[in-house]
Amino acid sequence: MAGRVVVREGLFTDGDAPALLGSRCAACGAHHFPRHDTCPYCAAEGPLPTQLSGAGSLWAWTAVTAAPPGYRGPVPYGVGVVELPEGIRLITHLTVSDPAALALGQAMELRVVPLHSDADGNEVVTYSFAPVDAPAPVDTP
Amino acid sequence: MSGVVIAGVGMHPFGRFEGVSTTDMGVHAVRAALREAAVSKGGFQAAFCGTAYGGVATGHKVLSRLGLTGMPIVDVEAGCASGGAALMLAAGAIRAGQYDTVLVFGVEKMPKGIIRSSFFEPWQEEAGLAATPSFFALRAQRLTVTSGVTKEHLAQVVVKNRRHGASNADAMFQKEVSAEEVLASRVVCEPLHLFMLCSPNEGAAAVVLTRDGRGADPAPAPVTLAGAVLRSHLPGSVLSESTPLSGLTDDDVPSPTTLAATAAFEEAALGPQDLDVVECQDTDAARELMSYEEIGLCDPGGSAELLASGATSLGGRLPVNPSGGLLSKGEPLGASALGQVVELVRQLRGECGPRQVEGARVALSHTVGRGANAGVVILTR
């Protein structure tokens, strides 16, 4: 029976309060996403699994207007960099695909959103970030 | 680094060539370089071939066709900097006394369209997070924040390079464009329009390096390879060419380009102020401006101002991409770095006709891409 599957296990939890699955290095304190078994910054082994904050701010953004090779979702779609309070920046989908509707430093929150339906009819979902309490964009003449 | 000189260069034009194989193009470029260097069978002791998409034993296939095998032939993959990596290995071997003369060439026949790379995991492609133009666009957007770069500046990079490339017979595009045309081309990823992105394509370039055996010979100095450096990335920058999924909120991590340029300047005992002409990575218009800042052609944040001053146009203080850059030539990964070196050798020899940088004596080539790999080569005369 068709269901809902994540685009890749181990990146985020699905459900009412989704979270990104990261890790933290006990030696240098750096946070990672996705989880690492060796710290990429100081090479210490065995970083601790952690859940990352679902709230951040927008640091860079664009929209992809033509489907790149292998991509199975709709176009255009938003892609950006969101900065989290743990001191990391991550590459993510954005729920907004109109770059003019976004602003530097805007408050963003984690969402899990549909990406496409796979061959078995499953809904494939991915992590994304959406503006917090953003009013609907207003068309100005 | 001294003691290594360029004995000859050769090139197959960059473009799209139906029915011409990777090997065909390599044969063309290698033959031209060996002829110019007056090197024949037995005259070089090793060959390094840069290629990313060429497949198994690409270099062997080229040299087999020319009847020039027996010596070590090593294929080198370092993404956009493959040719620079090959050059570094060859120069190091000559300096170490392992060889006297080494053939270095790069060949490529790229798939059409957006570059698909085995670098990414399948889920990243499925999720649309492996899309090269979007990473370029995010870097471009950061430049608008850090350096006051506008879409008009991005268009002006294209206008400049296409003007330079108009007289380059080896370039894919030899027609000038206006800023209006650039901005009227479709948006690929804001702020990048189609004409602001280079075309992946096909081509080959070759260079013969040899030990400087002039001794006290008062003959005019040939072009010297003063520095050839490859560097990878340090972790931490989310928009690094290493294309991680995350990075740190630390803006002081040096880029691979800065690491390579710093080391190359040190090797050559020269600095940015000594340069007369530069060929730099302009995969997209913003990448050229980032290169200005990362190589040290201007202060951080100063790229838009440097471009607008006209300094980097032909006739300016420090022309950048007189060949037309990748925006005019297109980008055959394994050949692009050596294509820059061929252009710069010809510039230093004064052979470039309408696009000649008058009196050029110190030149820098820069490529950077996937890996990350950044290659910087410094040539002097």
Q: How does the average pLDDT of chain A come out, rounded?
A: 92
User: In angstroms, what CA-CA distances link B285 with B119, B152, B260, B288?
Assistant: 24, 11, 21, 6
pLDDT score of B220: 64
* pTM, two decimal places: 0.95
Residue type, A140: T
pLDDT score of B217: 64
- Asked if B179 contacts B72 with a C-beta cutoff of 8 angstroms, the reply is no
Torsion, Cα A48 A54 A59 A61, to 10 degrees, reads 110
Instruction: State what percent of residues in chain B have pLDDT above 70.
Output: 97
Residues 6+ apart with CB under 8 A from B259: B231, B234, B374
Residue B80: active-site member: yes
Between CA B366 and CA B378 the distance in angstroms is 9
First to last CA, chain B: 14
The reply to whether residue A126 touches residue B248, judged by beta carbons under 8 angstroms, is no
How much is the ipTM here? 0.93
Provide the chain A residues 10-39 that lie in CB contact (below 8 A) with chain B.
22, 30, 32-34
Band (A136; pLDDT cuts 50, 70, 90): very low
Residues 6+ apart with CB under 8 A from A117: A2, A123, A124
Instruction: State mean pLDDT over B159-181.
Output: 98
Q: Is B122 at the interface with chain A, CB within 8 A?
A: yes
CA distance A121 to chain B (A): 16
Band (A139; pLDDT cuts 50, 70, 90): very low
- Give the gyration radius of chain B's Cα atoms: 19
Decide if pLDDT at B1 tops 70.
Answer: no
Residue with tokens 């006739």: B315
First to last CA, chain A: 48
What SS3 state is found at B201? Answer: coil
pLDDT score of B131: 72
DSSP state of B194: G
Between CA B173 and CA A79 the distance in angstroms is 31
Band (A16; pLDDT cuts 50, 70, 90): confident
CA diameter of chain B: 63
- Asked if B339 contacts B377 with a C-beta cutoff of 8 angstroms, the reply is no
* Greater model confidence, B284 or A136: B284
For B205-262, write each residue's pLDDT tens digit.
Answer: 999 999 987 665 656 668 999 999 999 999 999 999 999 999 999 999 999 999 999 9
pLDDT score of B130: 87
What SS3 state is found at A77? Answer: strand
Number of Cβ pairs < 8 A linking chain A and chain B: 112
Instruction: State mean pLDDT over A36-41.
Output: 96
pLDDT score of A113: 95
Between CA B209 and CA A129 the distance in angstroms is 52
- Best of A23, A57, A79 to substitute, by most chain B Cβ atoms within 10 angstroms, is A79
Q: Identify the sign of the CA torsion B50, B56, B59, B65.
A: negative
Query: And the tokens for B227?
Result: 């520095």
Band (A137; pLDDT cuts 50, 70, 90): very low
List, in sequence order, the alpha helices (H) in B226-277: 256-268
Pick from A68, A89, A104: which is nearest to B130 by CB? A68
pLDDT score of B219: 62
Q: How does the average pLDDT of chain B come out, rounded?
A: 95
Q: Is A89 at the interface with chain B, CB within 8 A?
A: yes
- From chain A, pick out residues whose CB is under 8 angstroms from the CB of B239: 60, 81
Decide if pLDDT at B39 tops 80.
Answer: yes
User: In angstroms, what CA-CA distances link A85 with A54, A107, A110, B141?
Assistant: 9, 12, 13, 22
- Asked if A67 contacts A76 with a C-beta cutoff of 8 angstroms, the reply is no
* Greater model confidence, B185 or B111: B185
Decide if pLDDT at B7 tops 80.
Answer: yes
In chain B, the DSSP E strands lie at: 4-15, 46-50, 73-76, 101-109, 187-189, 192-193, 202-211, 224-231, 246-248, 277-279, 362-369, 373-380
Query: And the tokens for B293?
Result: 């800042």
Q: Is B132 at the interface with chain A, CB within 8 A?
A: yes
pLDDT score of B63: 98
pLDDT score of A1: 60
Between CA A13 and CA A10 the distance in angstroms is 8
pLDDT score of A69: 87
- Residue in B with minimal Cα distance to A82: B246
Burial of residue B31, with CB atoms counted within 10 A of its CB: 0-12 exposed, 13-18 middle, 19 or more buried: middle
Angle between helices B82-95 and B333-349 (to 10 degrees): 60
